[in-house]
Amino acid sequence: MTVQSRNMFSNMSAGLKNIVGGEIKPYTKMLEEARQEAIDRMCVNAQTMGADAVIMMRFDSGSIGQDMMSITAYGTAVKLDK
């Protein structure tokens, strides 16, 4: 899981985009980075448990306050039979 927040200038930019519409690129970038961080942490946790792979991987997300977002990547860590 990871929790991310943008800086004040990104928040002001997002407020302006909210008026005129369109993609809010700083938030898109933040969410892409948060997803990757959540995946990386999940993989490290699986390796720590001795797993060879993670199956049935999925994401969960939510808002914390007005300008923070949490992303969780989870799945089933498995040990492959050799």
What is the band of 13 on the pLDDT scale with cuts at 50, 70, 90?
Answer: low
**pLDDT tens digits for 18-74?**
566 777 777 788 888 889 999 999 999 999 999 999 999 999 988 877 777 888 999
CA distance 36 to 12: 25
Please state the φ and ψ torsions of residue 57, each to the nearest 5 degrees.
-70, 140
